[in-house]
């Protein structure tokens, strides 16, 4: 939908100009300086918003000063002796402006400066006239009303700013709640997909494992029977056995993904567990030139986890990091205490300097059977996400597209 363009002048601006026109046509009509000053006041009032937007820090002060000067000029050119001018209420303009832009103390200071500008007309007036008690009372009443207007307007403006700030905070809270709801919906959809695919995987795995056992047994018997008489057939039977073992390993991973986890929880220090996993993975890549940076916070608490399953989390993440860096690069592992949604726990960050995760794959990397590797089956990160979910934790990919992958794993201190 198209938004209606905002008019350059609002109706209140037109009303403001009409009031100034009314002042201009009142006596003294032949005073050209009065019309010029009123025109300047009207023009500045229309342009004041741009001044404040251009310089938010000093613009409000400039606006009040300019209005005090224009008001003083208007008083000076109307009513003969300035102190007796009927246009003295024009000083309400800078007073109201200061009350809207500044706090209570600053508003009182600006009101005092405005009052002094008005009282300055007493100096030339006292050279020709005498200040009577009635005149002094009238002057004091006018100045007191300046302060009354400043206090009332400032109180309204302060309350308005407080309400705006309150609504902004509420809007930010609602926005954060919406983001959490969207994440929860995405997690729920992923859990549904995992549950459905897990049931399918379990059924297929059981159906496949039985004939695999028959094929493997038959291949071993065939190899034993023809080993001496037909070496080629024996070799082919060996190939069958090795491929059956590979398929059986794949089926085992399917079952690991589909099978409900039975956690054996015990207090575990994640830094010790991660170091053990890191040493194991490094042994798998003996020729890799990877610089490992450890950034472990001191005094991280022991958390209730299944150590064997948690090892699978970090084996997958660190192995993927080594593979993504293709033998050389930088691997950073950070461990720190953190809280999420009121739960205290430990966060682990695994960050590599590889090519990162493509933008089109970021939403799918935790889905089962999704992989970008030629020889992968797409269950590694799915199993990682499942284990983290079983521990009531979270895992997120936090790096932007085109940069090295940065995975953030959060595991709560307890499973309550």
| 302 and 253 share one domain | no
Token representation of residue 276: 């053990």
In angstroms, the CA 148 to CA 385 distance is 65
In angstroms, the CA 353 to CA 326 distance is 10
The residue from 131, 159, 178 where one domain ends is 131
| 123 and 231 share one domain | no
The domain spanning residue 353 has which CATH number?
3.30.565.10
Domain limits for position 95: 11-131
Mean pLDDT score, 194-205: 67
User: Among 223, 257, 259, which residue's Cα sits nearest to residue 240?
Assistant: 223
Task: Name the packing angle between helices 231-258 and 133-226 (round to 10°).
Answer: 150
pLDDT tens-digit map of 367-401: 766 666 666 566 778 888 888 888 889 998 887 77
Token representation of residue 330: 């930088």
Q: How far is CA 379 from CA 136, 194, 253, in A?
A: 91, 11, 8
In angstroms, the CA 49 to CA 151 distance is 23
Per-residue pLDDT band for 2 (boundaries 50, 70, 90) equals: very low
Is the pLDDT assigned to residue 331 strictly greater than 60? yes
Per-residue pLDDT band for 198 (boundaries 50, 70, 90) equals: low
| 287 and 371 share one domain | yes
How far the first Cα of the chain sits from its last, in Å, is 48
Return the pLDDT at 122: 87
Helix (H, G, I), strand (E, B) or coil at 337: strand
| 306 and 402 share one domain | yes
How many CB atoms neighbour CB 204 within 10 A?
13
CB 190 within 8 A of CB 366: yes
DSSP string, 20-78: HHHHHHSSPTT-HHHHHHHHHHHHHHHHHHHHHHH-TTTHHHHHHHHHHHHHHHHHHTS
The residue from 115, 131, 147 where one domain ends is 131
Reported pTM: 0.49
| 47 and 69 share one domain | yes
| 288 and 341 share one domain | yes
Residue pointed to by tokens 């690991």: 256
The residue from 131, 150, 167 where one domain ends is 131
The domain spanning residue 212 has which CATH number?
1.10.287
Q: Is residue 177 part of a domain?
A: no
Quote the number of domains for the chain: 3
| 272 and 399 share one domain | yes
| 226 and 295 share one domain | no
Secondary structure element (H or E) that encloses residue 268, with its range: strand 266-268
| 408 and 328 share one domain | yes
Is the pLDDT assigned to residue 145 strictly greater than 70? yes
Is the pLDDT assigned to residue 4 strictly greater than 50? no
Q: Is residue 184 part of a domain?
A: no
Return the pLDDT at 378: 67
| 221 and 288 share one domain | no
Residue pointed to by tokens 């059981």: 206
């Amino acid at each position: 939908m198209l938004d209606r363009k905002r008019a350059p002048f609002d109706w209140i601006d037109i009303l403001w100009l009409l009031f100034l026109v009314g002042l201009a046509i009142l006596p003294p009509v032949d005073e050209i300086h009065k019309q010029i000053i009123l025109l300047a006041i009207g023009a500045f009032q229309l342009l004041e918003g741009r001044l404040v937007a251009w310089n938010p820090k000093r613009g409000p002060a400039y606006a009040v000063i300019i209005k005090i000067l224009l008001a003083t000029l208007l008083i000076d050119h109307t009513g003969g002796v300035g102190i007796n001018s009927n246009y003295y209420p024009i000083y309400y303009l800078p007073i109201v402006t200061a009350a809207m832009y500044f706090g209570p103390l600053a508003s009182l200071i600006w009101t005092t400066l405005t009052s002094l500008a008005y009282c300055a007309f007493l100096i030339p007036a006292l050279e020709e006239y005498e200040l009577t008690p009635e005149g002094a009372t009238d002057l004091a009443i006018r100045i007191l009303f300046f302060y009354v207007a400043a206090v009332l307007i400032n109180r309204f403006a302060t309350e308005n700013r407080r309400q705006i700030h309150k609504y902004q905070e509420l809007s930010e809270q609602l926005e954060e709640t919406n983001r959490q709801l969207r994440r929860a919906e995405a997690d729920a959809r992923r859990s549904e997909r995992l549950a459905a695919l897990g049931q399918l995987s379990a059924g297929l795995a059981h159906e496949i494992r039985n004939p695999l056992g028959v094929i493997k047994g038959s291949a071993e018997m065939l190899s034993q029977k023809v080993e001496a008489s037909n070496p080629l057939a024996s070799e082919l039977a060996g190939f069958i056995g090795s491929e059956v073992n590979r398929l059986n390993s794949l089926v085992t991973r399917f079952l690991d993904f589909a099978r409900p986890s039975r956690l054996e929880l015990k207090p575990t220090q994640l830094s010790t567990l991660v170091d053990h996993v890191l040493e194991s993975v490094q042994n798998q890549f003996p020729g890799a030139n990877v610089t490992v940076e450890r950034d472990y916070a001191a005094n991280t608490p022991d958390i209730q986890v299944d150590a064997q399953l948690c090892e699978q989390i970090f084996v997958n993440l660190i192995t993927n990091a080594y593979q993504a860096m293709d033998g050389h690069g930088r691997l950073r592992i950070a461990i720190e205490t953190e809280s999420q949604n009121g739960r205290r726990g430990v966060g682990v960050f695994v960050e590599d300097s590889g090519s990162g995760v493509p933008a089109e794959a970021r939403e799918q990397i935790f889905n089962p059977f999704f992989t970008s590797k030629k020889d992968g089956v797409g269950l590694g990160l799915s199993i990682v996400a499942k284990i983290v979910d079983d521990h009531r934790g979270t895992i997120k990919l936090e790096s932007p597209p085109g940069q090295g992958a940065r995975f953030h794993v959060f595991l709560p201190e307890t499973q309550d």
